[in-house]
Amino acid sequence: MLVVLSLGAVTATAACGSEGTSSVSAVAAASPSSAPAALSITDPWVKTAKKGMTAAFGTLVNNSDSDVTVIAGSTPAAPMVELHEVVESKGKMVMRPKKGGFVVPAHGSHVLQPGGDHIMVMDVPSEIKPGSEVPFTLELKGGGTYTFTALGKDFAGAKENYQPGADMGGMDE
């Protein structure tokens, strides 16, 4: 059975820097049989960037009785998107593609956050400004997609710099 998921509700609160907060909630629409949608995301946001690389974050929520695995992503804001994790390797924190994708357990959640799992957005051709609405599509294992919109947000927190060759505060690509 194919379930179409769509953006259900968007709430935005303006934010500036790491002091403020912004909140955009994407809720999947229920299927015609009134069954709850399998996947949703709370507080999706994307780090502002002039160009180059950035990342998207939020909390994926699985409302179903089965695990959901996100295997890929895309956005019209950039030609290349990868699912990444941050792990320790030889005493350094490194970012790398997440093998197997993000598994969101049945009736559970999976946090996407700076310094952890995230949706890496590469080769961004134009500026993502504070308050920008950036659409994303996630591909799910077994077929199907989930779409949501992330809000552009200034963030200086975890000392990450998503530009190639930049000092990543102890984080390497």
172 pLDDT band, cuts 50/70/90, is very low
What would the pLDDT profile of 45-86 be if each residue is shown by its tens digit? 999 999 999 999 999 999 999 999 999 999 999 999 999 999
Model's pTM, two decimal places? Answer: 0.73
- Give backbone dihedrals phi and psi of 78, rounded to 5 degrees, phi first: -160, 150
pLDDT of residue 14: 31
pLDDT of residue 159: 56
Rounded average pLDDT over 122-142: 96
Distance, in Å, from the CA atom of 125 to the CA atom of 17, rounded to the nearest integer, reads 22
| Tokens 């984080």 found at | 171
**Contacts within 8 Å (CB) and 24+ apart, 166-170:** 168/93, 168/95, 170/92, 170/93
Distance, in Å, from the CA atom of 19 to the CA atom of 32, rounded to the nearest integer, reads 41
Rounded average pLDDT over 11-35: 35
